[in-house]
Structure 1
Amino acid sequence: MNKVAAECTIGVDLGGTKVLAGVLDADLGIRSRVRHEVAGLSRPDLIDVIVATVEEARRGVADEPVAVGIGVPATFDHSTGRVVRSTHLPLMDLAIEDLLAERLGLPVVADNDATCAAIAEHRAGAAVGVGNAVVMTLGTGIGAGLVMDGEVRRGSHGAAGELGHLPVEPGGLECGLGCPGRGCLETRVSGPALEREAERVAIARPQSELAKAAANGPLRGARVVELAHDGDLAALEALGIVGQWLGTGLVAIANLLDPELVVVGGGLAAAGDLLLEPARSVLRERAMPPAALEMEIIPAKFGADAGLIGASLLARDRAARDGNG
């Protein structure tokens, strides 16, 4: 084993509402983990929280990490390290690698969060040995990392895999900051989408546990998933509707890319088959053969940690390139 593989690296998974940092060892074991909320922060405050989260995780281990990798829900110009589009966070035109490297005193490499998840699952997770796969991350939005002919692909402008911005509902909801579209898939399949659907179902089913939860404050996606696992019919209905919309996205993946495998991760994937089985049903009914029957839909091996682990692997690659091995 070379020196870099034996050293610790830091992986950071930045989402629309949280930042998660972890120190990982050579076996991808997470030795220290720290999470903080970032929803609604200004750019300076967001950067401060990212730095503080990394430093807190760093203090949790005795060994000094050799590099930092960060997955961000954004599109990058990889020649400059700048963010060129960010739908959920105030990061437009930010040279995030240089800024964080200066603040942290370590080499930093950044990439799209779904691409990081794809790297983790393809190198060490559910997609090992698979030539053509899509790794989806379902959280505040939707991302998709693409594995084609055995390689992770980013597209001509680093923007491949923006499945969340596939238009599925003409005249639907506005998508949000950085996207000019309406009725994009992530307005129907995401944590916020599940919360909206759950609020609607709760009104229609006032005697349900879901309605009781809604009466105590805004519903959160994690609570809806928990109630669905407990068997609440209203929560199951809301999750099933979101799952059917996910199936619409899977039909597009099947017909356009024809992968062997779709791996589903991110926070919303905690719903498991309560979300995935309705999606599989839509896929079987509406996709072109043979993908309709042969494309597998499975949970990510690393679950919600896939982005963190993939970012750590990028950091390991960066350290090796910089001559630390």
Structure 2
Amino acid sequence: MAGGCVIGVDLGGTKLLAGAVDADLRVHHRAHRLPRVRDTAALVDLVVAEVREVQQAAGEEVRAVGFGIPSLMDLARGVAVHTTHLPLRDAPIRDLLAERLGVPVVVDNDATCAMLAEHHAGAAMGARHAVLLTIGTGIGGGLVVDGRIVRGAVGAAAELGHVVVDLDGPPCQGSCPNNGCLEVMASGSALGREALRVARAAPDSGLGRALAAGTEVTGALCTELAHDGDQAARDVVALIGRRLGVGIASFVNVFNPEVVVVGGGVIAAGELLLEPARQEVARRALRPSRDVVRIVQARFGADAGMLGAALLAMEAAR
């Protein structure tokens, strides 16, 4: 990467992924850590160490760094206003990181970054109207309307995971004040909770046997067992897919997108998750929107947020 490189960083609730990225979105060096920290200062230290590790591996001058952060953002000030899964509250994260790194820094919501990557060269490429959901610890949202990324008045738009789908549902995760948000009903965390419930209720299932053997029952384990054919695990994944479809049907009705892109760690379930979601959308969404929308898997998978953050950095480095 002659003339220096840019680094994209995807800071999630349970992962921190950074990479040196070129103009063709090829990742030349990457680092991955788990952000198990208790306060903002420790989180900034961890992020800075990650970026420097990638910079050292790349062996080049870093021209700019982009960060995707799972937060409600005030983009004009570069402030992470409210983050459900990380210790960031009204944190001037852009300026903190720029001061430590000594290079231009740009920040945005992590799901918006994922949408940037998928719209630039992925599953939403060429679409003028698109919705993206990143399903992991929580659920993030990205939105393209009339060919443009939608960020809202200050940068906090498209929090699609916090659309309420069940008025009397369980309390949402973290510090969200709502009940029955899509996030608490259909995220990776929800998948893990449902898998554990079924493991206790069905001791003869693969999930039940795993629990009896002392294995931690997680969403990832449920997905693995579902792919292996365990019916109880498949039923859990299908339930999460149907719940997801309820949310997607609302987004289809509101935004009339050409495509809904589903990414994040839970998409490892593939069609076991997406087909029940499509069936729910077919039952619930209105014509003509339901007749034109495609519901597809993200092209860039777990790298989408990092690549979108790198695209932001490329723009800042021009």
Q: Taking structure 1 as the reference length, what is the TM-score of the superposition?
A: 0.94
**Which deviates further from its counterpart, 215-224 or 166-175?**
215-224
Q: CA deviation at 1:52?
A: 1.3
What residue identity is the alignment partner of 1:233?
Q
Residues 35-114 of structure 1 mapped to structure 2, 5 A cutoff: 35-39=32-36, 41-114=38-111
Residue 193 of structure 2: which of 193, 196, 211 is its match? 196
The share of aligned pairs that are identical, in percent, is: 52
Q: How many residue pairs are counted as aligned between the two chains?
A: 317
Pair 1:206 & 2:203 matched: yes
Q: Distance in 2 between matches of 1:267 and 1:137?
A: 8
* 1:120 alignment counterpart: 117
SS in 2 for 1:145: strand
SS in 2 for 1:176: coil
Q: Distance in 2 between matches of 1:286 and 1:201?
A: 27
What residue identity is the alignment partner of 1:48?
D
Q: CA deviation at 1:7?
A: 4.1
Q: Distance in 2 between matches of 1:254 and 1:232?
A: 32
Q: Distance in 2 between matches of 1:200 and 1:293?
A: 36
Q: Distance in 2 between matches of 1:41 and 1:271?
A: 31
What residue identity is the alignment partner of 1:115?
T
* 1:298 alignment counterpart: 296
Residue 23 of structure 2: which of 5, 8, 26 is its match? 26
Instruction: Say if 2:11 and 2:70, in contact at 8 Å, map to a contact too.
Output: yes
Q: Distance in 2 between matches of 1:60 and 1:233?
A: 45
Q: Distance in 2 between matches of 1:213 and 1:98?
A: 46
Q: Distance in 1 between matches of 2:72 and 2:94?
A: 13
What residue identity is the alignment partner of 2:284?
R
* 1:172 alignment counterpart: 169
Q: CA deviation at 1:167?
A: 0.9
Q: Distance in 2 between matches of 1:266 and 1:176?
A: 17
Q: CA RMSD in A?
A: 1.5
SS in 2 for 1:186: helix
Structure 2: segments with no counterpart, 5+ residues = none
Instruction: Say if 2:94 and 2:107, in contact at 8 Å, map to a contact too.
Output: yes
Residues 56-84 of structure 1 deviation map (CA, whole Å, 9 limit, x = unaligned): 12222122221100000111111111112
Structure 1: segments with no counterpart, 5+ residues = 321-325
What residue identity is the alignment partner of 1:304?
A
* 2:282 alignment counterpart: 284
1:208–1:148 Cα change, 3 Å: same
Q: Distance in 2 between matches of 1:115 and 1:81?
A: 15
Instruction: Say if 1:7 and 1:25, in contact at 8 Å, map to a contact too.
Output: no
Instruction: Say if 1:285 and 1:292, in contact at 8 Å, map to a contact too.
Output: no
Q: Taking structure 2 as the reference length, what is the TM-score of the superposition?
A: 0.96
